[in-house]
Structure 1
Amino acid sequence: MIRLHRCCIALLMASAPVAASAASPIELTARVLVEQRQAAADGTTRIVLVPPARVTPGDAIVYTLIYRNTGSQPVPDLVVASPVPGNLLYAGPAEKAAVPEVSVDGKAFAPLAQLRVDGRPAIAADVRALRWRIAAPLTGGAAGQVAFRAIVK
């Protein structure tokens, strides 16, 4: 049985984003799932996502941001942004998730291949912040999610 390490889970959730302002109808919630290998009936191994009971350095996780319009009016041009929590290394978009724009300095966002750090091409571990542009207006009461993979430091 896996035991919960509260300090690790708290650190993972400490950077969970909040609504942009008190007047914003957008509510953001973070959810963390750990990648776990499971034996399949056919003898192969598959990766499943499970709630974290314990995370340790080197564990692969999926960090999901769930956004919801709590208002009644559509919200156009929604941008969901989040820093990469300090105890995580960005490892790319989650499976079947939109690819975010990334930032190595928290200011300039672009696809990873276009960014540089100290004159060299940036790598996933250099990423400090993420941003997703939601194309369609988010209608009142509607929700969606974006996600990324990360490795626990």
Structure 2
Amino acid sequence: MKKTLENRLAYLYSGELFSIIIFVPTSYLINYAFPNLQLYSLYSFWVSFILLEFLLLQGTIYWYIKLKRLRNETNSITPIKIVRQLHNLKIMNMIIIVITIIVFAFDLIKWYPSLPFGLTITFFIYIFAILEFINYFYVQLSYNVSGIKDLLRSRKLKNSCINKDFKRIKKLEF
């Protein structure tokens, strides 16, 4: 059981870390190969991209901490200090999400009427970042095959691990 959980946490940690690393050169290559997209000229691209990378970094650190605790202390319970920091990051993430909407409006005004197609790609990056935010801080959105079977059976999304940590801490504080 411990080994299965350890493998799962290592998979989550390494997957998030790989995404952070690979997205940077990918964005560069796309911008280089398709300069007419004008990605790097869009403020909304930068804010959306940084939001996504910031969320992935939070996920990487979260899964790493859980993995490290499991290996060193035989449990993967997130320390209270980390959960409080995650709660503060949740608020910061929501602020950045709102700021990104404002930056999109700015780009729309700036580039109208000749809106670059890169704005559409940027919008999808933004949506992906919001889905990552929901996946980390509210409900689990990604499932493996057995998880999908459970989801179909229960017809209810699971709370995210961070959300469970928030609820655990809330119980301890009152």
Question: Do the two structures share a fold, i.e. TM-score over 0.5?
Answer: no
Rg comparison, structure with higher value:
2
TM-score by length of 1: 0.29
Higher normalized helix content (fraction of residues):
2
Higher normalized strand content (fraction of residues):
1
TM-score by length of 2: 0.27
